Copies of this chain bind each other. A is one copy, B any other.
Amino acid sequence: MGKVGWRLISVGNCARAPSVRFELSSFALLTRYLKETSSESGTTTAAEEESMWVIDAGDNMMGRLMEESWCGLEGLRRLKGIFITHLHGDHVFGLPSLLSAVKRAGGKQKVTIIGPSGMRKWLNPALWVGAPDLGVRYRILELQYTPYWTRNWNFHPSESGYKIVSMSDDGKWDLSEYIGTDHFEVKAAPLRHGIPSLGFVFQKPGRKLVVLGDTCDSSAVESIGKDCDVLVHEATFTKSEAQIAQRAKHSTAEMAGNFAKKIGAKTLLLTHFSSRWLKDNQQETFDGVRLSLEDPVSGLTLRNVQKINPYHGLTVILNEAKEAFGSESLYAASRNLEIEL
């Protein structure tokens, strides 16, 4: 990606279900910048600074990150922030282990955790009991959504800050001042799901990335997500399962395509596939050939793109989304699929 830029990498694409390769829907965003330092003599030197941001952290997120050459121990030392879209177990139960690993990987940084109200209620007791000697500082930002989980647990000795961020008058949260970098901005908007769920919008000059949590109605993201380069959207069910989707407050592939079209997304990345489609392992789903390509619509470079096996049910999901989107620029978030931004 050259000297500076972003890499959005899929770390899993499953909705929760017990399966052999339990790769729950989650992403890593690697950001690289030149950091300029001025010496007393007036000379300026620039060094690369790479940070890792994680979006959702279900069971074994740490193990999955450790498996990858782009992360490993070094990656954990660069982990700056964790964005949690919502508090269902398949998106958060790996959080205590991930945090516990940072010190053991040699990390000394402070980690910021951003998500809906209620995180602290269970994360602090979990860390108190399971990791009293956590060894890295963390800061929790809870986005106040509804009067949901208001009661909080004791302060943890490693907790270096706790803040409840109220919604702005426009119904969004502006998180830019909390992420400790002026290289990009982050906003969040509420999604409709069984419990409070969030969509995050990451923006830097010339690039916009939108990552949505589980949702059955994302209209609040529209204004801040408009004309994004990449939209990550769940596609748990097919059109024929629309009633199940409605009950479970999830999206069909068609809904994902419609929303991508509505906000003018250039590229749509689908994830959070039901175990109905993914069966027990991803080898059966994808053809295993990893392609690098330049997307003809968005002009973005993608790596590790895999085709879905033509006989596999997941093609239905992709086709329904494509028809609604009215564009060919869409992909299933197979493990390690990477988009340069």
Residues of A within 8 A of B (CB): 16-20, 22, 58-60, 62-63, 66-67, 73, 76, 87-90, 92-94, 96-97, 100-101, 104-105, 118-119, 121-122, 125-132, 149, 153, 195
Q: How far is the CB of A91 from chain B (nearest CB, A)?
A: 8
Contacts of A73 in B (CB 8 A): 18
With contacts A19-B66, A73-B18, A100-B89 known, is A94 near B59, CB below 8 A?
yes
User: Which residue of B is nearest A105, CB measured?
Assistant: B18
A189 to B16, CA, bound (A): 37
- Whether A18 pairs with B153 at a CB distance below 8 angstroms is no
Q: Are B125 and A88 in contact (CB under 8 A)?
A: no
Instruction: Write out the residue numbers on chain B whose beta carbons fall within 8 Å of the beta carbon of A19.
Output: 66
Kindly list chain B residues whose C-beta atoms are within 8 Å of the C-beta of A94: 59, 97
Asked whether, in the complex, the Cβ of B130 is within 8 Å of the Cβ of A66, the reply is no
Contact of A125 among B18, B58, B125 (CB under 8 A): B125
- Select A59's contact among B63, B118, B125, B153, beta carbons within 8 Å: B63
The copy count of this chain in the complex is 2
Q: Which residues of B contact A66 (CB under 8 A)?
A: 18-20, 22
Whole-angstrom CA separation of A125 from B128 in the bound complex: 13
Given contacts A89-B96, A125-B121, contact A62 B18 (CB under 8 A): yes
Residues of B near A93 (CB, < 8 A) are: 93, 96-97, 100, 126, 130
Interface contact A20-B67, CB-CB below 8 Å: yes
| Listed residue (A67, A126, A132) with the most chain B CB atoms within 10 angstroms of its CB | A126
The answer to whether B131 touches A89 (Cβ under 8 A) is yes
* CB proximity of A194 to chain B, nearest CB, Å: 8
Contact across chains for B122 and A130 when beta carbons are under 8 A apart: yes
A97 vs B94: C-alpha distance in the bound complex, in angstroms?
9
Contact A100 B16 (CB under 8 A): yes
What 8 A-B pairs have minimum CB-CB distances, sorted nearest first? A89-B130, A60-B60, A122-B125, A59-B97, A18-B101, A122-B126, A22-B63, A122-B129
Contact of A121 among B60, B62, B76, B129 (CB under 8 A): B129
Closest chain B CB from A119 CB (angstroms): 8
7 A-B contacts, Cβ less than 8 Å apart? A17-B104, A18-B104, A58-B97, A59-B63, A87-B130, A92-B130, A122-B128
* A62-B22 contact in complex given A118-B129, A122-B125, C-beta closer than 8 Å: yes
Given the complex, which residues of B lie within 8 Å of A18, measured CB to CB? 62, 66, 73, 76, 101, 104-105
| Candidates B60, B122, B131; contact of A63 at CB < 8 Å | B60
A16 CB contacts on chain B under 8 angstroms: 100, 104
Chain B residues positioned under 8 Å from A132 (CB to CB)? 195
